[in-house]
Amino acid sequence: MIAIGCDHAGYEMKKELISVLGAKGYEFKDSGCDGEKCDYPDIAEKVCEDVLSGGCEYGILICGTGIGMSIAANKVKGIRAALCTDCFSTKYTRLHNNANVMCMGARTMGTGLAAELAEIFLTTGFEGGRHQRRLDLIEKIEEC
């Protein structure tokens, strides 16, 4: 199960991703919004809670640029949210950073690229090894 959420700027992209990726067998928990104006930090918090609770394996957040969602999501302890804008960075944020939430901008990319990036994010595993040590260091920072 994938938690997905957006603000009003990302509503159309969210609907398209649910349709395209749903046809490939992915299941989604839609955490809003429904096209109405809303505050992106509220949506980011809902998606992050779904990921941390174990109810959803990953989260996808969409706003105008993806930046606001990534800032808000990264305030939640245990979340490693990455702004995904290209194939290489999206792949390596999973391989090296074990990101559990991806953020995208509906005003900065088309839905075709967004679907491609989401599939890369959802199918790429974490390498572990030396990268786990670095994630452990990040967790120590969260404790401050």
Residues serving a catalytic function are 63, 96
Query: Residue 49 in 3-state DSSP?
Result: helix
Which tokens hold the place of 99?
């990101």
Q: Whose CA is closest to 27, among 18, 36, 39?
A: 18
Number of Cβ atoms within 10 Å of the Cβ of 97: 17
Separation CA 95–CA 110 (nearest Å): 24
